[in-house]
Structure 1
Amino acid sequence: MTELDVASHDAITLETAPTRYIEGPGIRFAYRRLGLSTGTPLVLLQHFSGNIDAWDPAVVNALAADRPVIAFDNAGVGRSTGRTPDNVAAMARDAVDFIDLLGLAEVDLLGFSLGGCIAQQIAAEHGRLVRKLILVGTAPKGGEEHLLAVLQEAFSQTDAPDPRLPLFFTKSSASRSAGLAFLKRTKVRKNDRDTDNGRPVTDPQAKALITWCATPDPEHALLHAIRQPTLVASGSHDTMLPASNAYAMFKELSNAQLILYPDSGHGALFQHHETFVSHVRTFLDTQPPAA
């Protein structure tokens, strides 16, 4: 029996699920699980600086309505112990260790931003572990990024209630309104909230993301190693990891679909959460054609 077999589907949400822990060599991983106790688990890989409570409950809870969903803190993040690596390959190894500790032989991956880089690395190296892959607001090796410039701009906007508002959403009234609603949803949980560990997490994560995008892969070897069905999604006006990255991945992946969401930035999946969940469900539930 795996860890997931004992999960209860009854009214557990991201806001109410207990934070659980599982011990690995040198790392004690913090995670929450919700949704069904059967089916292929969907493992969530979080963005730069984010922890479990940075996920949007509107996305996570809706996805968990018909499948197991697992959100976790990778090494050094939130309530997980260990040191946050400064490279994507090590982050991917830690994530695979976590999945192995749960006793899971096959998973789907949803990687957002930096999490999408980690998801690519895992899918390329562990073909039998990953059934399907969802890449959101991310970039391939050698892709375009503007992390430091965008962070500097966002933190200079002192009138913003949260840096994620200018980071994840556009300046339009519709996008800003959706952003404020997103921020409100992420703050619903009051007890047992995850922790922000500051620069010991963000400094190595920034180095990992910048190095990933600065490392040329002219033959697209990593993308070509990914054989799993892949859904690539991006906001039309993502200033951190521009939508050109999504198109570049779509062209090089062997079995990919591409979705661009209108009037949206890095947090398109949160702004268009109902549509995004619908697209993800359709993608995950579609059976491959018979050989």
Structure 2
Amino acid sequence: MSYVEVDGDRFAYRRWGKPSGVPIFLVQHFRGGGIASSSGTPRNRMEDMADDIAAVIRALGLEQVDLLGFSIGGWQAEEVALRHPQLVRKLLLIGTGLRGGDPTMDPKVPEVALNPVPGLEDFLFLFFGRSEAAVEAGRAFWKRKVYAAVRDVASITDPRLTPVALDVTDPAAVRSSSCRTNSRPRPRFTPVTRAIRPPS
């Protein structure tokens, strides 16, 4: 993990690849927080998040980036391109949408997406198709995701805690298994998570 300081706030980031060429700069939204090692006051406006991203790009000494936005990070990347166009060579948007929303979107999406404790059915609705094969793939992914999260928490808190003892389809069970690690202060939402340099 590396850090860059901007106006007294510390942003955590990761960098891979060779330090040459125009880097791909990934802006990914992590539900519930950013990288825990970052500090500062959470931003509530896309414009402020975009300005933070631009400040980090500059602090890293990058003149221009290919900006890749995923999920809400796509909204933030769009705003960076609008507010700081000189920093963005290419804009890549994945798994995102229009900042104002998509009028053809299923009306259930905002309700499900804002659920503070998303369950398996929420996850399947938002991220997987409706076919039997898609639902099965989603269930398998959910199980791996929850198993990994519980395994990581168990290694920190209680080695006897195992995912086998939990119903991985029940978000309350998963949340209660990890609550012992949630006593530390909430991390600052950091829209910048990775600066990736392409191979030369």
TM range (shorter): 0.5 to 0.7
Secondary structure in 2 matching 1:119: helix
1:100 matched residue in structure 2: 58
- Residue 10 of structure 2 contacts residue 38 of structure 2 at CA under 8 Å; is this kept in 1? yes
Show the counterpart of 2:42. Answer: 84
Kept in 2, the 8 Å contact 1:21–1:30? The answer is yes
Find the aligned partners of 2:117 and 2:65 in 1 and give their Cα distance: 36
Q: Residue type of the partner of 1:135?
A: L
Q: How far did residue 166 of structure 1 move?
A: 4.2
Quote the residue 2:195 is aligned against: none
Q: Which amino acid aligns with 1:139?
A: G
> Structure 1 vs Structure 2: percent identity of aligned residues?
39
Asked if structure 2 preserves the Cα contact closer than 8 Å seen for 1:154 and 1:163, the reply is: no
Q: How many residue pairs were aligned?
A: 157
Alpha-carbon distance in 2 for matches of 1:100, 1:183 = 40
Alignment partners' CA distance in 2, 1:40 and 1:182: 35
Q: What's the counterpart of residue 137 of structure 1?
A: 95
The aligned runs of 1:34-53 (5 Å cut-off) are 34-47=16-29, 49=31
- Aligned residue for 1:128, secondary structure, equals helix
CA spacing shift, 1:155–1:42, aligned 2, 3 Å: same
Give the C-alpha shift of residue 41 in structure 1.
Answer: 0.8
What amino acid is the match of 1:122? V
* Runs of 5+ consecutive residues of structure 1 not aligned to the other structure: 1-18, 52-72, 206-283, 285-291
Amino acid at match of 2:54: V
Deviation at 1:175, TM superposition (A): 2.6
* Structure 2 partner of 1:113: 71
TM-score normalized by the length of structure 2: 0.61
Q: Is the 8 A contact 1:117 1:140 kept in 2?
A: yes
Q: Does 1:169 align with 2:132?
A: no
Structure with larger RCO (C-alpha < 8 A, sep 6+): 2
TM-score, scaled relative to structure 1:
0.44
Larger Rg: 2
Distance (Å, rounded) in 2 between the aligned partners of 1:151 and 1:201: 21
| TM-fit CA distance, 1:177 | 4.4
In the alignment, the residues of structure 1 paired with residue 187 and residue 2 of structure 2 have an alpha-carbon distance, to the nearest angstrom, of: 22
Which residue of the partner structure matches residue 149 of structure 1?
Answer: 111
2:25·2:66 contact (CA, 8 Å) conserved in 1? Answer: yes
Instruction: Describe the SS at the equivalent of 2:41.
Output: coil
Question: CA 1:140/1:152 → structure 2, altered by over 3 Å: closer, same or farther?
Answer: closer
RMSD: 3.9
Contact 1:154 1:166 in 2 (8 A): no
Partner residue in 1 for 2:177: none
Q: What is the Cα deviation at residue 174 of structure 1?
A: 3.0
For 1:128, the equivalent position in structure 2 comes to 86
